[in-house]
Amino acid sequence: MKRFNRPESDTAAPLVVQVVRQYAPGRGGLEDVVANLSRLLLRRGFRVRVVTLDSLFRARDQKLAEHEIIDGVEVVRIPWKGSTRYPLAPGVLRHIGDADLVHVHGIDFFFDALALSRPLHGKPMVATTHGGFFHTSKFAAIKQIWFRTVTRLSALAYRSLLCCSRSDLTLFFRIAPRRAVLVENGVDTEKFAGLSSVTPQRRIITIGRFSVNKRLDRLFDAMQALNGVSPGWKLDVVGSPSDLGEEDLRGEIARRGLAGQVALHIGVDNAEVRRLIAEASLFASASEYEGFGLVAVEAMSAGLVPVLHPNDAYRVLSTQHPGLCLADFARPEECAVRIEQAFQALLANPAATRDDMMAGAAVHAWESVADRYIDVYRAALGNRVPPQPRSLPA
């Protein structure tokens, strides 16, 4: 990253302002989606600005640079107050005045505030749902009331609601049937391509924020149960603190006597993640809720065999890719058996299994998904979409 200098560009090219609560140097599925979409929009002739909050949720007191250029994308960071669940940042309005299109990521303050203020700014807008705010069952009744009232009203201000999974489409179709469209998340299938161990290993990796809904406790239960099925299994937990911190997880690991089997890798870079993937054969996620399952597809691109809790998103993913293994992590003994079965299937034909995983991941590559976004932008912008080829070479 380097200090901010506004990029020189064709001012006639349409400017898409992407609004998202967290962005680089933060890491996660939401940040990856916005970063990859921004990169591809630049290559297709758009100008792009990302407006985000001026600190990361995990380090709220550490203010980030107000302006930067990251991988060619202008990034503007604004102050915020309130809860991380609904961060208040009215300063967003100061950075969309020259936008041709505003693309909001997530159903949060930005989604509601930009909808409420649309009579003032008048910008055409689209939004990507990213699972809404139903990632956990906490405050479920209040969330349902808010969704059926405030979210329904806010949705009227958007040309399209881009649902990143079929479960999101089902959910948002209830409140915005004319606006909800399916545009599943793109996946960077090159980042970890083909990295999994060529020789099958009883080693599992899981990647993601340390959030309650990820149910790492259940994954640890399954690891404990694996000791009674087939000893020698290892688990690498890669991620960054969120609802849960490092001490929380170390306590869960210690209580189960898994210190020699489970390793935490906190805030590591992609080079270290690649090294860990190269030692593994399986990917696991016990998550109760996913908007799409992006990390599972990234795991497939590496040749890892995913073992996934059957939430709505993972059920859909398994219908698209039969080689995935669904296992109920609420039942650790049964889950342990399923993990060993997935390993035995890999052991029977490792090369073909890895190839099948990688081929399945390719369906979700960003190049083709970006074309869907362009179609939505075209509907919102009309003739202002650049006449670029639909899929450009890297």
Residues 327 and 376 occupy one common structural domain: no
* Residue 390 within a domain: no
Instruction: Judge whether 198 lies within some domain.
Output: no
Q: What is the rounded CA–CA span in Å between residue 239 and residue 295?
A: 12
pLDDT, residue 135, reads 57
User: What does the buried/exposed string (b/e) look like for 271-303 if buried means 16 or more CB atoms within 10 Å of the residue's CB?
Assistant: eebeebbbebbbbbbbbbbbbbbbbbbbbbbbb
Q: Give residue 134's pLDDT.
A: 67
User: Do both 294 and 316 map to the same domain?
Assistant: yes
Q: Quote the pLDDT of residue 9.
A: 53
Q: Which two tokens stand for residue 264?
A: 């935490």
- How far is it, in rounded angstroms, from Cα 55 to Cα 129? 22
Per-residue model confidence (pLDDT) at position 3? 38
Residue 108 sits in the same domain as residue 48? yes
pLDDT at residue 2 in the model: 39
Do the domain assignments include residue 394? no
Same domain, 46 and 122: yes
Residue 192 lies in a domain: no
Distance CA 302, CA 243 (A): 28
Looking at the structure, tell me whether residues 343 and 371 fall in a common domain. Answer: no
167 and 80 in a single domain? The answer is yes
Q: Are residues 162 and 87 in the same domain?
A: yes
Give the pLDDT score at 109. 97
> How many whole angstroms separate alpha carbon 287 and alpha carbon 207?
11
Residue 224 and residue 160 share a domain: no
**For the chain, what is the domain count?**
2
**Low-confidence residues of the chain: pLDDT under 50:** 1-5, 389-394
Instruction: Write down the pLDDT at residue 99.
Output: 97
Q: Is 140 part of a structural domain of the chain? A: yes
| Residue 370 sits in the same domain as residue 345 | no
CA 307, CA 326: separation in Å to the nearest integer? Answer: 6
Does 240 lie in the same domain as 166? no
Are 173 and 295 part of one and the same domain? no
CATH number for the domain harbouring residue 292: 3.40.50.2000
Instruction: Examine residue 78 and state whether it is found in any structural domain, yes or no.
Output: yes
82 shares a domain with 134:
yes
The predicted pLDDT at position 242 comes to 86
Helix H, strand E, coil C: the string for the chain is: CEECCCCCCCCCCCEEEEECCCCCCCCCHHHHHHHHHHHHHHHCCCEEEEEEECCECCECCCCCCCEEEECCEEEEEECCECCCCCCECHHHHHHCCCCCEEEEECCCHHHHHHHHCHHHHCCCEEEECCCCCCCCCCCHHHHHHHHHHHHHHHHCCCCEEEECCHHHHHHHHCCCCCCEEECCCCECCCCCCCCCCCCCCCEEEEECCECHHHCHHHHHHHHHHHCCCCCCCEEEEEECECCCCHHHHHHHHHHCCCCCCEEEEECCCHHHHHHHHCCCCEEEECCCCCCCCHHHHHHHHHCCEEEECCCHHHHHHHHHCCCCEECCCCCHHHHHHHHHHHHHHHHHCHHHHHHHHHHHHHCCEHHHHHHHHHHHHHHHHHHHCCCCCCCCCC
- Domain, as residue range, for 95: 2-186+365-384
Using CA atoms, how far apart are residues 49 and 99, in angstroms rounded to an integer? 9
Nearest to 37 by CA among 135, 126, 157, 169: 126
Establish if 393 belongs to a structural domain. no
Q: Is residue 156 part of a domain?
A: yes
